[in-house]
């Protein structure tokens, strides 16, 4: 294992975060804080409890996931796309660095940013609403698992994209709508039976459900199923990335 190569990639990617602090951290935190102010403090006090949890507290896990999913995909995709765009990817591919080491460096840095962002939003939420965390260790584990999984997905998007426009398509037109429709602001049990069954085809439902369970001990779907679906998606991303580096798809062209 080339630890020096992993450290070099990891440190460089994290350093880019501090250079773009407003875009990487401040912007999503401020945006999410506005949701807490409007839906948590203003509207939440007038809403009925959901599964025994106040509405303001109920939306905390969903809003954290909304930001973490979007930023995980964006950070990881931009991290690998930039070397492609600048042409420095060829230096990396010709260096004595394995696919696993490249992956650990880029995805590890992107996942670290997502976990930091999720933690900051969690602390910020305490300023607006009161909430509890029933399973704190599970909360951390699920946050890390989801961050890594969607950073792997973002890594695939970054390799696939051949322009800056395509980098924004998936987060803006896929991830964000799925997160809004995945139970960020409501329980899917509140939906009519037909739409409840339709919602089960939304993969983000399982992520938010598992994360909310770690807070309040209640979930829309089985926690085991949620974690299993996440692991299957992670495995699929790893298979695609392995194929990309083996064939050189959009890397060696």
**Per-residue pLDDT reduced to its tens digit, 214-241:** 999 988 888 999 999 999 999 999 999 9
Dihedral of CA 172/173/174/177: which sign? positive
Per-residue pLDDT tens for 125-179? Answer: 888 888 889 999 999 999 999 999 999 999 999 998 887 777 778 777 888 888 8
| Distance separating alpha carbons of residues 154 and 39, to the nearest angstrom | 29
Percent of the chain with pLDDT over 70: 94
- pTM, full prediction: 0.90
Per the structure block, which two tokens stand in for 173?
């037109």
| Distance separating alpha carbons of residues 98 and 121, to the nearest angstrom | 35
Q: Concatenate the DSSP letters of all residues of 106-142 into one string.
A: HHHHHHHHHHHHHHHHHHHHTTT-----S-HHHHHHH
Helix (H, G, I), strand (E, B) or coil at 251: coil
If phi > 0 it is left, if psi is from -120 to 50 it is alpha, else beta; for residue 95 that is: beta
Per the structure block, which two tokens stand in for 118?
């999720």
Q: Is the pLDDT of residue 45 over 70?
A: no
Q: Is the pLDDT of residue 62 over 70?
A: yes
Q: What are phi and psi of 50, to 5 degrees?
A: -120, 120
pLDDT attached to residue 41: 65
The mean predicted confidence, pLDDT, of the chain is 86
Helix (H, G, I), strand (E, B) or coil at 50: strand
H or E element, residue 72:
helix 55-86
Per the structure block, which two tokens stand in for 96?
């004595």
H or E element, residue 58:
helix 55-86
């Amino acid at each position: 294992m080339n630890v020096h190569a992993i450290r070099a990639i990891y440190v460089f990617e994290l350093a880019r975060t501090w250079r773009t602090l407003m875009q990487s951290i401040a912007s999503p935190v401020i945006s999410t804080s506005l949701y807490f102010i409007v839906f948590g403090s203003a509207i939440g006090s007038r809403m009925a409890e959901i599964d025994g949890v106040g509405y303001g507290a109920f939306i905390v896990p969903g809003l954290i996931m909304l930001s973490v999913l979007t930023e995980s995909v964006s950070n990881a995709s931009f991290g690998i796309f930039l070397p492609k765009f600048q042409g420095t990817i060829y230096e990396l591919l010709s260096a004595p660095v394995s696919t696993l080491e490249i992956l650990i460096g880029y995805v590890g840095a992107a996942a670290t940013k997502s976990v930091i962002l999720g933690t900051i939003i969690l602390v910020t939420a305490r300023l607006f609403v009161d909430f509890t965390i029933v399973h704190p260790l599970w909360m951390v584990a699920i946050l890390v698992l989801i961050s890594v999984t969607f950073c792997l997905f973002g890594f695939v998007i970054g390799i696939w994209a051949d322009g800056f426009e395509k980098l924004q398509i998936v987060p803006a037109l896929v991830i964000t709508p799925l997160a809004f429709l995945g139970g960020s602001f409501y329980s899917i049990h509140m939906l009519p039976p037909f739409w409840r069954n339709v919602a089960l085809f939304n993969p983000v439902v399982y992520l938010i459900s598992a994360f909310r369970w770690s807070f309040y001990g209640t979930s829309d779907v089985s926690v085991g199923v949620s974690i299993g679906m996440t692991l299957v998606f992670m495995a699929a991303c790893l298979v695609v990335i392995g194929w990309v580096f083996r064939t050189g798809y959009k890397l060696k062209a």
